[in-house]
């Protein structure tokens, strides 16, 4: 370990905070919808988002740094919208998800740019790879859900995702989230691997690093 902050630390922090926030409002939505099919999809995606938040916080912790609390000014509003009595279709629209999912919108893939930094270590690369795969699958799940809710949708348009598949995924994800929470709590309680107290990015003068 060096005293220098990895160049990709800000990316890890952005993902950790964004995913944790999305996990919060998707959980509020999953708990408030009357539609069991929508709830199942949201349960999977909310658990993934929360688990991503914890997994990236854990990685930041393992690298010897601290994740600061999120300063997302829009999060409280999103949680309010998600837990409100709006319809599920209105929530897709009011949370900005419909605009992201609608065909014809800008569909540029944001993920390849995350791998342009060639200094990313193996463990973080593996985490990013899993994250990207799950994010894309969550996008497909949400798109199927949104299309099924739109006026004129066929009633069976969510049949491609079976209830058993989703239930199994929810059970597996809940186990992962529980394990990740325990792991992050354990890491936070320990000193960093080099024996020094955990530090914030930029707190130390950068040292020379092997390229
Ligand atoms: Fe996400």
Q: What is the pLDDT of residues 134-169, one digit of tens each?
A: 999 999 999 999 999 998 876 554 555 555 666 666
Average pLDDT over residues 181-187: 79
Share of the chain above pLDDT 70, in %: 78
Q: How many whole angstroms from 50 Cα to the centroid of ligand 1?
A: 9
Tell whether pTM > 0.85.
no
CA 23–ligand 1 middle distance (angstroms): 8
> Cα(208) to centroid of ligand 1, in Å?
35
Whole-number Å distance, alpha carbon 118 to ligand 1 midpoint, is 23
DSSP 77-145: HHHHHHTSSS-HHHHHHHTTHHHHHSTTS----SSGGGG--TT--HHHHHHHHHHHHHHHHHHHHHHHH
Ligand 1 centroid, distance to 130 Cα (angstroms): 12
**Does the pLDDT at position 207 exceed 80?**
no
Instruction: Tell how far the Cα of 4 is from the centroid of ligand 1, in angstroms.
Output: 28
What pLDDT shows up at residue 29? 98
Higher model confidence: residue 2 or residue 57?
A: 57
pLDDT the model gives residue 30: 98
Check pLDDT > 80 for residue 86: yes
Q: Which residue has the higher pLDDT, 154 or 56?
A: 56
Q: Report CA(38)–ligand 1 centroid distance (Å).
A: 17
């Amino acid at each position: 370990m060096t005293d220098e902050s990895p160049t990709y630390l800000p990316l890890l922090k952005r993902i950790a905070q964004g995913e944790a926030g999305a996990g919060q409002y998707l959980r509020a939505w999953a708990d408030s919808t009357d539609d069991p099919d929508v709830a199942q999809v949201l349960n999977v995606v909310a658990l993934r988002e929360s688990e991503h938040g914890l997994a990236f916080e854990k990685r930041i912790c393992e690298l010897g740094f601290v994740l600061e609390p999120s300063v997302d000014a829009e999060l409280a509003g999103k949680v309010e919208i998600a837990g409100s009595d709006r319809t599920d279709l209105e929530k897709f629209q009011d949370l900005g998800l419909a605009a992201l999912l609608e065909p014809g919108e800008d569909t540029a893939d944001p993920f390849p740019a995350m791998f342009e930094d060639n200094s990313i270590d193996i463990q973080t690369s593996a985490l990013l790879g899993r994250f990207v795969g799950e994010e894309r699958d969550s996008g497909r799940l949400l798109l199927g859900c949104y299309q099924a809710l739109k006026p004129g949708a066929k009633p069976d348009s969510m049949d491609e995702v079976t209830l058993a598949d989703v239930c199994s995924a929810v059970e597996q994800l809940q186990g992962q989230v529980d394990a990740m929470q325990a792991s992050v709590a354990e890491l936070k309680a320990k000193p960093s691997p080099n024996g020094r107290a955990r530090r914030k990015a930029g707190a130390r003068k950068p040292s020379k690093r092997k390229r």
